[in-house]
C-alpha cells in the first residue's frame, strides 16, 4: 500500500513538473520574442560605446571617412599615447577623479545621516526641516543668484565648488530616510539601552546595515560628479581646475587645432606611421570620449547588485 502511494505521488510530481516546464507553443513564441526584443534593445544601447572604441583604435584616415562600423580597421593604439600628450589632460584626470571620490563620499555620508535624523521624533523641527528640504527639489534661485552666492563664498576658481553644492541632495536623502524607516526600531532601542548616544547609534548600528541604499546613492553621486561639466564652464577660469568632461567639451569644439597639436607632439612617430596614425579631429573626439566614458562603464557593474536591492528596499514598506 505504501509503495503504491509512493509511486503514485512520484508519478504525479513528474507529471506536474513536465506540465510546468512544457508550456504551450504560444508561451515558447512569447519567450523567444521577448529574448529577441531585449537582445536588440541591449545591442542598440551598447553599440554607440562599441563604435567609439573601434574608431579610436582604427586607422585614423579610415575613421575620418566614416568607414569603420562593425570592427576595427588597421588596429593601433597610438591615439591614446598621443592624446595623453595633449595639454591639461593629466591634470584634468586628477581633478575629475578627486571630485568624484571626495564628492561621492561626502554625499553618501550626508544623505545617510540626514535620512537617519529625519526618522528621529526627538529631532527639533523635524517635519519643518524635512519639508524645507523637499521644497528645494521644485524651486531654484536661478543661475545668476547662485553664481553670486558662490562668488561671495569664495568658491569660484576653487576645487570645493565641485563638491559642496552636491553634498545634500533631496532625492538621496529621501531614499536614505525611507530605507531607515524599513529597518527594525528595536535596533536603536537595544543600542540605547546599552548606553549608546545618537551618533553611536548611527555610526555603529544603522550605517553598517545601510550598504544597499548607500551603494545606490554612491552610483547616483559618482555618475553626476564624473559627467558634470557645466559647473566648470560657469565657475572656473583656472585651467588647472578643468575637468575631463569640460576638456572633452573643449576638444570637440576645437578638434581640428588639437589634432594638429597632437601631430606636432608626436613628432617623428606621425611621420613614420603616415596617415594611419596621424591625428584627425575624428580620432581626437573618439579617443577622448572613450577615456571619459570608460571608468563609469567599469564601475557601474560593480554596484549593480546593490543598486537594484537598494532601490527596492528603499521604496517598498511593510
Q: Which of 249, 271, 265, 259 is nearest to 64 (CA)?
A: 259
Does residue 245 contact residue 236 with C-beta atoms inside 8 Å? no
pLDDT of residue 41: 92
Which pLDDT belongs to residue 308?
59
- Per-residue pLDDT at 63: 79
The answer to the question of residue 305 being in a domain is no
Instruction: Report if residue 31 sits inside a domain.
Output: no
Residue 276 lies in a domain: no
pTM of the predicted model, to two decimals?
0.73
> Looking at the domain assignment, is residue 18 inside a domain?
no
Coil vs helix vs strand at 199? helix
3-state helix, strand, coil in the chain (%, to 5): 75, 0, 25
Q: Check residues 182 and 274 and name the one with the higher pLDDT.
A: 182
pLDDT at 311 over 70: no
**What digits encode the pLDDT tens for the residues 145-195?**
889 999 999 988 999 999 999 899 999 999 899 888 888 888 888 888 888
Across the chain, mean pLDDT equals 79
The verdict on residue 24 lying in a domain is no
Q: How confident is the model at residue 108 (pLDDT cuts 50, 70, 90)?
A: very high
Query: Which pLDDT belongs to residue 296?
Result: 75
Domain assignment present for 266? no
User: How far, in Å, CA of 16 to CA of 204, rounded?
Assistant: 50
Residue 244: phi and psi, rounded to 5, are -60, -40
How far apart, in Å, are the Cα atoms of 89 and each of 129, 265, 297? 42, 14, 20
- Tens of pLDDT along 199-232? 898 998 898 888 888 888 888 888 889 888 888 9
Please tell me the predicted confidence (pLDDT) of residue 35: 92
pLDDT for position 281? 73
Average pLDDT over residues 312-317: 50
As a dihedral over the C-alpha atoms of residue 289, residue 290, residue 293, residue 295, rounded to 10 degrees, the angle is -140
Phi, psi of 238 (to 5 degrees): -75, 120
Q: Classify residue 176: in a domain, yes or no.
A: yes
The confidence score (pLDDT) of residue 264 equals 59
Q: How far is Cα of residue 301 from the mean position of the Cα atoms in its chain?
A: 10
Distance CA 182, CA 210 (A): 11
Q: How many domains does the chain have?
A: 1
Determine, yes or no, domain membership for 23: no
How far is it, in rounded angstroms, from Cα 279 to Cα 293?
A: 20
Full domain range(s) for residue 149: 87-253
* pLDDT > 70: percent of the chain: 79
Of 59-63, 189-193, 314-318, the range with the lowest mean pLDDT is: 314-318
pLDDT band of residue 107 (cuts 50, 70, 90) is very high
- Asked whether the predicted pLDDT for residue 85 surpasses 80, the reply is no
The CATH number that applies at residue 148 is 1.10.3720.10
Handedness of CA 79, 80, 83, 85 (dihedral sign): negative
Give the integer Cα–Cα distance in Å for 160 and 150. Answer: 10
The number of angstroms, rounded, from the C-alpha of 171 to the middle of its chain's C-alpha atoms is 16
Cα-Cα-Cα-Cα dihedral sign, residues 286, 292, 294, 300: negative
Residues 6+ apart with CB under 8 A from 169: 107, 111, 220, 221
Say how far apart CA 176 and CA 252 lie, in whole Å. Answer: 38
Per the structure block, which three cell numbers stand in for 179?
A: 530605507
The dihedral built from the CA positions of residue 216, 222, 227 and 230, taken in this order, carries a sign that is: positive
**pLDDT reported for residue 37:** 93
**pLDDT band, residue 271 (cuts 50/70/90):** very low
Q: Give dist(CA 120, CA 129) in Å, integer.
A: 12
Amino acid at each position: 500500500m505504501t509503495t503504491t502511494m509512493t509511486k503514485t505521488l512520484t508519478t504525479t510530481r513528474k507529471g506536474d513538473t513536465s506540465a510546468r516546464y512544457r508550456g504551450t507553443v504560444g508561451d515558447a513564441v512569447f519567450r523567444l520574442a521577448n529574448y529577441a526584443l531585449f537582445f536588440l534593445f541591449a545591442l542598440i544601447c551598447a553599440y554607440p560605446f562599441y563604435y567609439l572604441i573601434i574608431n579610436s583604435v582604427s586607422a585614423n584616415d579610415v575613421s575620418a571617412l566614416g568607414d569603420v562600423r562593425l570592427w576595427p580597421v588597421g588596429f593601433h593604439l597610438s591615439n591614446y599615447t598621443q592624446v595623453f600628450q595633449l595639454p591639461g589632460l593629466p591634470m584634468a584626470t586628477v581633478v575629475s577623479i578627486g571630485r568624484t571620490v571626495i564628492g561621492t563620499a561626502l554625499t553618501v555620508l550626508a544623505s545617510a545621516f540626514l535620512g537617519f535624523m529625519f526618522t528621529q521624533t526627538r529631532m527639533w523641527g523635524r517635519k519643518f526641516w524635512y519639508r524645507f528640504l523637499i521644497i528645494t527639489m521644485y524651486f531654484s534661485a536661478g543661475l545668476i543668484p547662485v553664481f553670486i552666492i558662490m562668488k561671495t563664498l569664495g568658491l569660484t576658481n576653487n576645487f570645493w565648488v565641485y563638491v559642496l553644492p552636491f553634498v545634500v541632495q533631496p532625492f538621496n536623502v529621501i531614499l536614505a530616510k525611507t530605507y531607515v524607516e524599513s529597518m527594525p526600531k528595536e535596533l536603536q532601542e537595544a543600542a540605547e539601552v546599552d548606553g549608546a548616544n545618537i551618533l553611536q547609534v548611527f555610526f555603529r548600528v544603522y550605517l553598517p546595515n545601510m550598504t544597499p541604499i548607500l551603494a545606490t546613492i554612491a552610483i547616483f553621486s559618482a555618475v553626476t560628479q564624473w559627467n558634470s561639466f557645466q559647473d566648470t564652464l560657469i565657475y572656473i577660469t583656472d585651467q588647472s581646475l578643468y575637468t575631463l568632461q569640460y576638456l572633452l567639451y573643449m576638444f570637440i569644439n576645437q578638434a581640428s587645432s588639437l589634432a594638429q597639436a597632437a601631430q606636432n607632439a608626436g613628432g617623428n612617430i606621425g611621420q613614420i606611421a603616415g596617415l594611419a596614425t596621424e591625428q584627425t579631429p575624428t580620432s581626437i573626439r573618439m579617443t577622448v570620449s572613450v577615456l571619459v566614458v570608460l571608468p563609469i562603464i567599469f564601475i557601474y557593474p560593480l554596484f549593480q547588485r546593490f543598486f537594484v536591492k537598494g532601490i527596492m528596499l528603499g521604496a517598498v514598506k511593510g
